[in-house]
Structure 1
Amino acid sequence: MTLIKSISGIRGTIGGKPGNNLTPIDAVKFAASYGIWLKEYSKKDDLRVVIGRDARLSGEMIQNLVVSTLVGLGIDVIDLDLSTTPTVEIAVPLEKADGGIILTASHNPKQWNALKLLNEKGEFLNAEQGAKILAIAEKEDFDFSEVDDLGEIIKNDSYIDIHIDEVLNLSLVDAEVVKKAKFKVVVDGVNSTGGIAIPKLLKEFGVEVVELYCDPTGHFPHNPEPLKEHLTDICDLVVKENADFGIVVDPDVDRLAFISNDGEMFGEEYTLVACADYVLGKTKGNTVSNLSSSRALRDITQKHGGTYEAAAVGEVNVVTKMKANNAIIGGEGNGGIIYPESHYGRDSLVGTALFLMLMAERGGTVAELRASYPSYFMSKKKIELTPGLDVDGILESMASNYANEELSTIDGVKIDFAENWVHLRKSNTEPIIRIYTEAKSQEEADGLANKIIGEIKEIAGI
């Protein structure tokens, strides 16, 4: 069982002993730390925080603990109850709130939960802010409010509908165009809040919806990470229903994957590629993804006359780079779409709308669309090193060995070759180097990874 404290929040497994797992005591401690930090950061007395959760089994318990802790600090809470990560993100500025907390462990299995922390813009905290909250938690120097100064709870269960309205009002979205296409779509909501939000959104576009695992019970019917090996049910159902395509989201609805009409994976890496293709076809501009995302986004961006930039891995890093480079769309290769006209956060509702517009205007099948994009294949491996080895030194040696290639060292070592690339990143918690490669065939991607692993072993003397 595990408790992971990081700058982006606290994540852990339910049950067990405090400090080792996400217990009620840990939930209270870190909610209090966030509240204390928010008071210092905002320099205000009358604070408001938006809270929402996915449907996982521990959600209501963690929600009650977090809400009560903030109220005990004299902070008003706008309680969205069952919601999505992007819904909470848009609710924070709309409510003129001072921050937000999303109670979700994203794609992790049911035994996990987490507190994801937002600032007043509805965006994830930066490293410095997160570090301050961890320091407050370490000291446990809490000062709670007296009885006359307790916060209030304001319940608001309308925000998924408000979120959908926000999506429908985006300048590049026209529901009437999509209605004419008369799409039929299968939705796998993994029995969480995507099962509420995505079918509602699709129906606004006149889409015939076939629901699969859309009852928000929190009993995930399969591993909730939207990878091919977990999605056999929807792949089969898309073919059986003769649907135009399938939509899969993770429990908190910030990762989006499509199933082609032939029951094959469209590919999470290509979710962002397709959405960017639509947006860039309408508006000239730049894009950003992280260093471990597919080169296909770069290709599509350059095809439309834009500039592509790569950020360090992590949503907050992608958002920072997007702002610096005036990117009009960006995200991560795990199916995360960030569209600044809406907000700076991964949003499966926005991604779904952009994809519907692309398909409605372009015509043809989803399988044909996928075949029209540059075809790349990824390999994701890791190498375990002996404790005590200088991992940073090993990465520096690899960078030196490939100094004549296009290099990035902002997050590990990324080596861009003419036809492929490799990204080496160390784990922060164990002596492991992760090796991601991409090439124009799976065999080539695996071969490059194995070659690099061999070179690392030689440097490490193992």
Structure 2
Amino acid sequence: MTLIKSSSGIRGTLGGKVGNGFSPIDIIQFAGGYVSWMKKRYKSKKKFVLILGRDGRVSSVLFQQFLIITFQSLGVDVINIGLSTTPTVGIAVMNENADGGVMLTASHNPKNWNGLKMFNSYGEFLSEEDFEKLFYIAEKKYFSFSSYKKLGNLFKIDNYIQKHIEKILSLPIIDKNIIQKSKLKIVVDGINSTGGIAVPILLKYLGVHVIKMYCDPHGNFVHNPEPIEKNLREICKKVPDIKADLGISVDPDVDRVVFICENGDFFGEEYTLVAISDYILENKFGPIVSTLSSSHALKDLSIKKGVPYYSTPVGEIHVVKKMKEVHAVIGGEGNGGIIYPDLRYGRDALIGIALLLTQIAKLANIPLSELKKRYSNYFMSKKKIQFSSHERIKILLKTIKKKYKGKKMDFSDGIKIYLKYNEWIHIRKSNTENIIRIHTESTSRKKADFLSKKIIYEMKEL
């Protein structure tokens, strides 16, 4: 059983003893901690309002009821927007001037997981400092329930995905008309979660002929829900079989998006941000921000365009913080997470789709396989290994640091070792699973794989 608390929120496996997994008791405890944190943060207010959304997981229907009851018992009004996406909850917080919001989801984790993503009053994830305060309050149970006279009210709004999409389409950088004229045919893998609702609605507004795969939001994930190449063999085969222009896959809470080329090749989750940044920089000059684990192709693009590039530790809150500091025009993560600040400071698959479709339509419907050729050609190997304890991780990282002494290294998020300009190794503890992530990159797939195997062998020998 697993329960993980991090800057990405709270998530865990279902079942088992309290504290060893994600249970109704944990929901009550962390929801109480969140409300108490919120009341301390905005203490001048007398009445508080929260947005609540959920993904399509089977357990989300049940756990949603626990959250509603808990929040109302704590004296908070709840606006339940039902089946939703993580970025939609952020948009709803902004639109409704709410004091915060909660998305019931475990993001890319399998269907035996669930969790909570929490927002501040700006529709953004909480900072690391605020999460630490929340976790402390939750652990100590420093929260109080309301009397019957001060119980919260429950409201329901059913069309927030529609409102979210309308907000995206109102952005000047999205050219709805040129996309409609392109008459694109696109396959969508919605992983039987809310992407199966949101992505087809967006595409139909854009005049796209949509072929759906797994778009019923009942939560029975047919394949591993993380949108990476090895999990998307079926859509990669279907796109060329039916002569579609491209394919789109998202994770269960729709904050990550990846694309499949017309020939069935995987466009690459790293190149989602690269291509979209290219389009943004054609229209607006300014810095780009991504993470230490993102492809060097993005830095190459920044050099070509003559704009600053900044890297941060992995995690949306770190990227957003740096984007605000440097006034970045675009940012995100190499996992397919796009952050376009003119909409909201948070990852959003739907804005990523609208931006990329505008880009290819303006390039006379350039095939994705041709678009990718415009960018530096790197290969990444992404591996993960289970770890036994946090102490063991510290020992491993310390030993690796000694072994590669003399190489340029970055210690802001685990260890990133720069072997030469276009080769690197990044070793870090995951924010969302009890694993160590090992990312390597090179101009050769064979070399990238060799580097990851080499570092794993070295770690296992320690």
Shorter chain as denominator, the TM-score bin is over 0.9
Q: Distance in 2 between matches of 1:345 and 1:365?
A: 28
Residue pair 1:195, 1:214 contacting (<8 A) in 2 also = yes
Structure 2 counterpart SS, 1:27: helix
1:216 is matched with 217
Unaligned runs of 5+ in 1: none
Amino acid in structure 2 at the alignment position of 1:18: V
Q: Distance in 1 between matches of 2:105 and 2:213?
A: 21
Residue pair 1:381, 1:436 contacting (<8 A) in 2 also = yes
Unaligned runs of 5+ in 2: none
Question: Is 2:385 the counterpart of 1:359?
Answer: no
- TM norm structure 1: 0.94
2:451 is matched with 448
2:21 is matched with 21
Q: Distance in 1 between matches of 2:243 and 2:175?
A: 25
Alignment of 1:35-434 (within 5 A): 35-43=35-43, 44-363=45-364, 364-381=366-383, 391-392=393-394, 395-396=397-398, 398-399=400-401, 405-416=407-418, 417-426=420-429, 434=437
Amino acid in structure 2 at the alignment position of 1:162: K
For residues 162-201 of structure 1, the C-alpha deviation after alignment (integer angstroms, 9 at most, x for no partner) is: 1011110112111001111111101111111111111110
Aligned CA distance change for structure 1 residues 64 and 408 (closer, same or farther; 3 Å): same
Amino acid in structure 1 at the alignment position of 2:239: V
Aligned CA distance change for structure 1 residues 211 and 453 (closer, same or farther; 3 Å): closer
2:33 is matched with 33
Q: Distance in 2 between matches of 1:269 and 1:368?
A: 16
Amino acid in structure 2 at the alignment position of 1:212: M
Residue pair 2:8, 2:432 contacting (<8 A) in 1 also = no
Q: Distance in 1 between matches of 2:321 and 2:189?
A: 31
Q: Distance in 2 between matches of 1:294 and 1:137?
A: 37
2:442 is matched with 439
Q: Distance in 1 between matches of 2:165 and 2:386?
A: 45
Q: Distance in 1 between matches of 2:242 and 2:77?
A: 47
Residue pair 1:391, 1:431 contacting (<8 A) in 2 also = no
Aligned CA distance change for structure 1 residues 155 and 446 (closer, same or farther; 3 Å): same
Residue pair 1:387, 1:431 contacting (<8 A) in 2 also = no
Q: Which structure is richer in relative contact order (CA contacts within 8 A, separation 6 or more)?
A: 2
Q: Distance in 1 between matches of 2:342 and 2:431?
A: 34
Structure 2 counterpart SS, 1:202: helix
Q: Distance in 2 between matches of 1:426 and 1:143?
A: 35
Post-superposition offset of 1:229: 2.1
Post-superposition offset of 1:388: 9.2
Residue pair 1:379, 1:438 contacting (<8 A) in 2 also = yes
Residue pair 2:4, 2:433 contacting (<8 A) in 1 also = no
Q: Distance in 1 between matches of 2:34 and 2:390?
A: 35
Aligned residues with identical type, % of pairs: 52
Amino acid in structure 1 at the alignment position of 2:230: E
Aligned CA distance change for structure 1 residues 61 and 284 (closer, same or farther; 3 Å): same
Post-superposition offset of 1:402: 5.1
Q: Distance in 2 between matches of 1:343 and 1:112?
A: 27
Amino acid in structure 2 at the alignment position of 1:14: L
Aligned CA distance change for structure 1 residues 208 and 384 (closer, same or farther; 3 Å): closer
Post-superposition offset of 1:36: 1.3
Amino acid in structure 2 at the alignment position of 1:92: V
Aligned CA distance change for structure 1 residues 389 and 3 (closer, same or farther; 3 Å): closer
Aligned CA distance change for structure 1 residues 389 and 84 (closer, same or farther; 3 Å): closer
CA RMSD of aligned residues (A): 2.2
Q: Distance in 1 between matches of 2:311 and 2:220?
A: 37
Q: Distance in 1 between matches of 2:389 and 2:94?
A: 46
Post-superposition offset of 1:392: 3.9
Structure 1 counterpart SS, 2:168: helix
Higher mean Cα deviation, 271-280 or 9-18?
Answer: 9-18
Q: Distance in 2 between matches of 1:220 and 1:116?
A: 20
Higher mean Cα deviation, 15-24 or 184-193?
Answer: 15-24
